[in-house]
Amino acid sequence: MKLTFALVGNQNSGKSTLFNQLTGSNQHVGNFPGVTVKKKEGRLTGNPDVTIIDLPGIYSLSPYSLEEIVTRDLLLREKPDAIINILDATNIERSLYLSLQAMELNLPMIIALNMMDEIVTSGGSIDIQKLEETLGVPVVPISASKNEGINELLIRALKLAEARTLPKRLDFCTGETHRAIHTVSHLIEPKVRAKGLPLRFSATKLIEGDELLAGELQLTDNELDIISHVTDDMEKTLETDREAALADMRYCYIENLCALTVHKPVETLAQSRSHAIDKYLTHKYYAIPIFLATMAVVFWLTFDVIGAFLSDWLETGIGEIVALTDEALKSSGVSAPVHSLIIDGVLAGIGSVLSFLPLIVTLFFFLSMLEDTGYMARIAFVMDKILRKIGLSGASFVPMLIGFGCTVPAILATRTLPSERDRKITIILTPFMSCSAKLPIYGVFVAAFFPDNPALVMVSLYILGILVAIISGLLLKVFIYKGKPVPFVMELPAYRFPTIKNVALHMWEKGKDFLYRAFTIIFLASIVIWLLQNFDFRFHMVENAEGSMLADIGNFIAPFFAPLGFGDWKSATALLTGLTAKEVVISTLAVLTGTGNDASATANALSTLYTPLTAYSFLTFTLLYVPCIAAVTAIYKEMGSFRQTFFTVAYQIGVAWLSAFGVYNIGLLCGYN
């Protein structure tokens, strides 16, 4: 029997952790709001006939955000066989608000009471049997992170879905609220039944002023007028607005229910620990310096200690493979052009970036640790005050944070922002965050020109990107996107120890993505670059790359970069090919200089093209110009306008050119070369 379960719950309730336990999915679990932007599906481990859908974390079923719309539409339209409602037992009062709304959908439903281990450890208790009897739906205590109670949850969920057992009808409204809900219910019942929608849910939503539902039901002007009069009477009698009246109704019931069933301390041990830590990590003056110091340590460990050691080891291994391949090709008598294509083109291009895999995996090991502990949510909170000065709210920090991994999902994540103005500014600023694809470029140039202070140079690039984003935000706020950011409300989850499984999954995802690009985009780019480097426009093979098609193309655009200190055709070509993927910048330089994956040879070759000053100018331009074609496509998809996309791309290139120009000329004035 094929079944579909929908996971519904608040943000940070452990919903995605439960999804991973049920499906064995490679989905990453983050400990900050907004990690689940779209629904995710997986097959139940050991039972492929059961589909699990992980829906975005929400607090209500009112259609005020994209997450709420996605969740509500799926539940109303696709009607899953059962809803698994995940509640945070440490904050059960808040979590039950969504539960009461979900029960009105009239679908089989079971409550998974997560984090019960924290309640017990802190000396609290919840009367599960009393809670279950009162609500009229099954309630199962679990600990998703420890995989406790999951089997019982599955057994009861399967029985519930197969028997199509619906929640017990709860009618806890009284007085004017009761009169309004039942009056509207009688009025709309025929149309609601015809549409196959739940009656009580529809009535409460129409009282709240749900325009989407009113349009779907095709209510007449007379019906809308009656609903308006009923609602106005309720507001006047209760002396409050419609939404507050319905919220008060639900929270009064929840308060009485928790008084009967819940006994817990003022705060759990995890919450108490979090409050003590937050005295420093969210401090008015200490928070930003601590964050910068934390990132500096992460970069030092990545580029000076752990990642550097592993990269050297992998580079040696790749060198041995290339040498063996070279000998095998020579002994087999392969023609010189084919030999050059494989060794100088394919292996040089892939090998030049593949050795940086340990750097990327190591960096995201630390970032995943910070993310899963809940620290990154604090930084979003701290950054709200700073971002407001440039016309944004702390909500924009989450897409920008994702941008340090990859610009494409970061741009897609902006759709969770409630304000169109904030969303567009964030899309323009996010590419200034240094994505992981630029790490191979930084690694080669830092090793070649700044071997004594690699971590310092790396931190300076990241800070430069942030500073440029701040200045750009101020300019956009004043001249183009005028107005004020929307209010920012976010939940700070309790600090928790990251699980080995989640951190490993995050590292695997980043490593897999890097390997995919290495053996697809970079592989194809290396072949194309080799062909352009070895043939002229009449397709005659050239002995010197100076006469190749690539040199002609590079020489044509090189004057654009001359004022930045690197007006040679090889640099121009590398930046042009870098539009496909930023790693291609290094594979292009490796192919053009004939150094392959040999880091020392690459450093020597680059020293003939750059000085430390021009190298930093090159890094500045690389940091700030258009990330890649995939990012441009994402920008167009989210902006929905060619004109705005063109402005965004042109703005990024212009900012990159001016910033690199400033770095180069200020350096010259200061006596650097």
- Reported as a single tens digit per residue, the pLDDT across 336-379 is 888 878 887 778 767 766 777 887 788 778 878 887 788 877 87
How do the residues of the chain divide into helix, strand and coil, expressed in percent and rounded to 5?
Answer: 70, 5, 25
Tokens, residue 117: 């281990």
For residue 38, what pLDDT band results from cuts at 50, 70 and 90? low
Write down all domains in the chain, each with its CATH number in brackets.
3-163 (3.40.50.300), 175-263 (1.10.287.1770), 288-669 (no CATH)
pLDDT given at position 534: 82
CA max distance for the chain:
94
Tokens, residue 543: 């002995």
For residue 31, what pLDDT band results from cuts at 50, 70 and 90? very low
User: Shortest CA distance to 10 belongs to which of 44, 29, 28, 34?
Assistant: 34
pLDDT given at position 664: 93
pLDDT at position 554 over 80: yes
pLDDT at position 651 over 90: yes
| Burial status of residue 499 (CB atoms within 10 A of its CB: 0-12, 13-18, 19 or more) | middle
CA–CA gap between residue 8 and residue 412 (Å, rounded): 22
Tokens 């609500």, residue? 135
pLDDT given at position 131: 93
> Is 298 or 127 the better-scoring residue by pLDDT?
127
Q: What secondary structure letter does DSSP report for 580?
A: T
User: Shortest CA distance to 575 belongs to which of 624, 639, 643, 648?
Assistant: 624
User: Shortest CA distance to 29 belongs to which of 13, 44, 45, 43?
Assistant: 13
- State pLDDT tens for residues 154-169: 999 999 999 998 998 8
For residue 265, what pLDDT band results from cuts at 50, 70 and 90? low
> By the 8 A CB rule, do 328 and 487 touch?
no
Highest-confidence segment of 21-30, 127-136, 597-606, 632-641: 127-136
pLDDT given at position 2: 87
For residue 560, what pLDDT band results from cuts at 50, 70 and 90? very high
pLDDT given at position 70: 78
> By the 8 A CB rule, do 202 and 192 touch?
yes
Please list, in sequence order, all residues whose beta carbon lies within 8 angstroms of the beta carbon of residue 613, skipping any fewer than 6 positions away.
565, 663, 664, 667, 668, 672, 673
pLDDT given at position 102: 92
Average per-residue pLDDT for the chain: 83
pLDDT at position 286 over 60: yes
> By the 8 A CB rule, do 177 and 249 touch?
yes
pLDDT at position 486 over 70: no
CA–CA gap between residue 490 and residue 668 (Å, rounded): 46
For residue 139, what pLDDT band results from cuts at 50, 70 and 90? very high
Tokens, residue 140: 């199962």
- Across the range 552-577, mean pLDDT stands at 89
Helix and strand element counts for the chain (H, E)? 32, 8
User: Shortest CA distance to 494 belongs to which of 28, 118, 95, 60?
Assistant: 118
pLDDT at position 220 over 50: yes
pLDDT at position 223 over 60: yes
pLDDT at position 659 over 90: yes
Q: Identify the three-state secondary structure at position 54.
A: strand
Residue 640 Ramachandran class (φ > 0 left, ψ -120 to 50 alpha, else beta): left
Integer-rounded Cα radius of gyration of the chain:
29
Tokens, residue 507: 């590292």
Distances (CA, A) of 520 to 348, 515, 628: 14, 8, 15
State the helix-helix crossing angle for 269-281 and 287-300, rounded to 10 degrees.
90
Give the start-end residues of each E strand in 103-173. Answer: 109-114, 125-126, 139-141
For residue 30, what pLDDT band results from cuts at 50, 70 and 90? very low
- Across the range 506-531, mean pLDDT stands at 76
